[in-house]
Each structure stands twice: as C-alpha cells, then as structure tokens.
Structure 1
C-alpha cells in the first residue's frame, strides 16, 4: 500500500521546495549529484545525516525505481557510507514503499517550522553580536554537543562553505567556557536557525531564548522577513521555546535506513 509522509496540500509544496532549497544552501554538502530530481548529498569529512542522504524533490519522479535506487547505493558505498533516504512531502510514495518492502526502518522525525519576523517582538538592541571566528565557534559547538574533536576539520569545512551571510553566535564566560551557541544563515528574505546548543549546567536560565533572540534580531536587521528551523519531533522543550517566537509547523521529514546500519 502506498503511504505518504503526511497529507500536505498541493498548494504548500512550493513552500516545501523553497525551504528545502534554502536548507541545502544553509548546510552544504561537498558533493551533490542528481538523478532526475533525486539529489544525492555526500560529504566525506562530516557524518551529518543532512549532508549524507538521498533526497527526492518531486513526488512524481518514480520511474525505474529499483535501478536508480541500486545506483544510489553504489554511489554511497564509494564514499564508505550506507545509503540513507530522507523522506519529505516531495518524496515519491512508491520509493517509500520500496525501502519499506526491503525491510528498512524509519527514524529521526524532524519538524520544519517558520515564523514571521516582522510580526514577532524582538529586542531593539542586540546583546550578542555574531562572530566570524569559525574555529572558535566549532570548538564551542563540539564542547556543548559532546562530539569528538576529530570531526572539527569536517564541521569547520561545512560552515566555511556556507555561501549566504552567516552569523555565528556564542555565549561564553571565562569560568564556564561555552554556554550557548547557534548559527543563523540569512538567505535573502529567509533566515535559518541551526545548531542551537546550551550547556547542561545553564539549562532553565533562558540562555536558549537569549541566543535565538539575538540571531533572529540580527537576521531581521539584515532584511529577513521569515525565519525557519528544523527541530526533532520529540524535542518538546525546544518546540515550546520556538513557539514563543511564533514558530509553527510547516512539514516534517524522516530518515530511512537498512536495519543493518548502526545508529
């Protein structure tokens, strides 16, 4: 039986396509290839799922599924990676059926949200200005996320490759070190909020509100009219925070992988 990710009105698909496009520019893969409307995103230096996945961009592009799917698997294998499918409202339902029939499992549901920056209330002044020091920002992100420092070159390369104007926001103290980070990418009238992180010792101190507010203010001053972000569907605390800024759900996406692939 053919099943879609969710019921999205056809009139909303252009918005989904636009948000997907700005998302690709905000988090660029080092290798992007196309098979029809299927985008194969690969990055040898950093293992982010968004950088290493198959992303179909047209629900009607479902010809020769088996052949194209196996070709994609071979391409990912050449990078030493197992194929991961990113399912959005633009994914052909027949492709979802194919991976389900092969025993693949769905994981990591994500909600894409937007807010009107012109309508929201933000401070008139910015308490935190963006940094241009990629190394400092990456060190702060890795410290807060608890990631291995071995991925620093790959993450720094991804951030340095972002073409639209980018604000790297860091809150830190001499005693505690990094407290909160976020990355804001301003792409014409759209601004994306990425990689929000807060130190565990600073939770419930409104640090996330503080740094997101600064990033949104920066984007609005630069001319952005709408902000977007992606947050884990199960991250209820973060979703509640973003709702205070007026963020509302537009669509969701999921990942699919073979059962043999490690998490």
Structure 2
C-alpha cells in the first residue's frame, strides 16, 4: 500500500481506517450512527473517544455535513466534538475553524509488531474487570465516581476477548492495563499506575504482560493512543518498540 503523503501519517489511509475501526470496537460507544462516511459516537459524555465524530470514508461536502453532525450531538444533549485523522477531507479543519472550533489534545496512534518477551511477575490477568481492577484504575487515573461508572458501562459492552491486567507491589495493587484482541490486532488501553508508584517499571511490566497475552492468542500487531505531549509515556512506548503510525486531534468550539 502507498504511504500517505501528509505530515503525520506513516501508514496508508486503508491502514488508518482499519485501525480506527478496531479502536472503535475495542472502546464501544453506547450509540453509533454513520452519516456520509462519518462515525458519530455517543456514550452519555463518558470519554471523548466514545462521544465524538470521526471520519472513516467521508463522501459529502463537509460544509453541508457539519450542521447535521452538530444537530445530532445537540439532540443527544452533548456538545459537538470532532476527532480528525488523515481520513478527513482536506478542507475539514478549515471548515471547523471557520465555524469557531479549535483543536486540542493532539495525540498519536502508535503501532508495533508483537513478539514474546520475558513474562513479568506480580501481575494478574483476568478476562473481565474485577472490583479491584476498577478501583485501582479509578485511584490511579483520578476518576470521579461518575467517570468510574461510565468506564464500567463502556467496558461491559466490549464483545471481543480482553485481558484486564493488575500489577501488584508488596501485596497491593498499584497499576492496571487493558488489552482488547480483534483479528490479529491488540488494542492497549487504560494503562494507569498510582502516582506514588510511577517510574518504578510497573507500566512497562503491565505492557509486557498484555502484549504476551495477545501474542499467545495469535495477535501480530499492537496499537495504542497517547497524548503527544505525554513525553514520559512516549519514551516508554519507544523503548517497547512502538512507532508513530498517525496523528489525530480533537476539535471543539471555544
């Protein structure tokens, strides 16, 4: 496949579309509607990725489509939120800017081929989220009770095999991570370590455990999403062999 000739994408448009679809199924919204090649996801406002509009195969003039997408979100009681990748038509960002939108939280999707690594100790991997896993995530990520319920709701809708990993240190849970397996691709989500336990190798151990779990189940590739300015995470993922695949930005009014 030909490489996309844009400043951000390191893979083809077809590969971007494939990863976008995998990621959407791995983090399922409560409601998803398709409109002229755009995927409109809503989940009562819980997490931006499950409550934003993303292009997959845009087929209409965005200037005429924008009001319809805005109306869709307003009717759901949500502010319109867009997530733009290189799949968007060339004029989409300009149209959003003209309508009063601005980009925020630039992020990268990272990708790597999987291979077995030494299995770390002190990690329990389970097929569903336990009360301990959810409580550790809420503590490590600073989730409110409402956000915790929203996360649990999204996690309950995942239909493909999952690995919920919990890292223990001195008998206490200190971090968690999630892997979702689909058609040879392993999506990695919710990697979080409690603040007092960071920079001690726990995140790397969780990543090794999740990637080993996927490799044992015939996954060939792993992908994840990370904020571009999260330099500590970017350095960790670089050490683990992940490379930049493509970038995306959220767009909102204001």
Using structure 1 for the length normalisation, give the TM-score.
0.88
Offset of 1:137 from its aligned partner?
2.0
Could you tell me how far apart the structure 1 residues matched to 2:7 and 2:130 are? 38
Change in 2 beyond 3 A, CA 1:134/1:67: farther
Offset of 1:40 from its aligned partner?
0.5
1:109 corresponds to: 106
Q: Does 1:50 align with 2:49?
A: yes
Q: Does 1:155 align with 2:151?
A: yes
Q: Does 1:146 align with 2:142?
A: yes
1:95 corresponds to: 92
Offset of 1:133 from its aligned partner?
3.5
Q: Aligned to 2:91, what secondary structure does the other structure show?
A: helix
Offset of 1:126 from its aligned partner?
6.2
Structure 1's unaligned 5+ residue stretches are: none
Give the alignment partner of residue 60 of structure 2, picking from 26, 44, 62: 62
Offset of 1:5 from its aligned partner?
7.1
Could you tell me how far apart the structure 2 residues matched to 1:126 and 1:223 are? 22
Question: 2:85 touches 2:247 (CA, 8 Å); kept in 1?
Answer: yes
Could you tell me how far apart the structure 1 residues matched to 2:166 and 2:252 are? 34
Alignment of 1:192-203 (within 5 A): 192-203=187-198
Cα deviation code 1:66-94 (max 9, x no counterpart)? 34211211111122111011000101122
Offset of 1:151 from its aligned partner?
2.5
Cα deviation code 1:146-183 (max 9, x no counterpart)? 111122222111011111100011123577x4311110
Could you tell me how far apart the structure 2 residues matched to 1:103 and 1:190 are? 37
Coordinate RMSD, CA, aligned: 2.0
2:162 corresponds to: 166
Cα deviation code 1:203-249 (max 9, x no counterpart)? 12111111111111111011101111111111111111111111000
Question: 1:5 touches 1:87 (CA, 8 Å); kept in 2?
Answer: no
Using structure 2 for the length normalisation, give the TM-score.
0.91
Change in 2 beyond 3 A, CA 1:31/1:250: same
Structure 2's unaligned 5+ residue stretches are: none
Offset of 1:58 from its aligned partner?
2.4
2:21 corresponds to: 21
Question: 1:113 touches 1:250 (CA, 8 Å); kept in 2?
Answer: yes
Question: 1:16 touches 1:251 (CA, 8 Å); kept in 2?
Answer: yes
Question: 2:120 touches 2:208 (CA, 8 Å); kept in 1?
Answer: no
Equivalent residues, number:
249
1:76 corresponds to: 73
Offset of 1:252 from its aligned partner?
0.4
2:235 corresponds to: 240
Change in 2 beyond 3 A, CA 1:165/1:207: same
Could you tell me how far apart the structure 2 residues matched to 1:55 and 1:124 are? 37
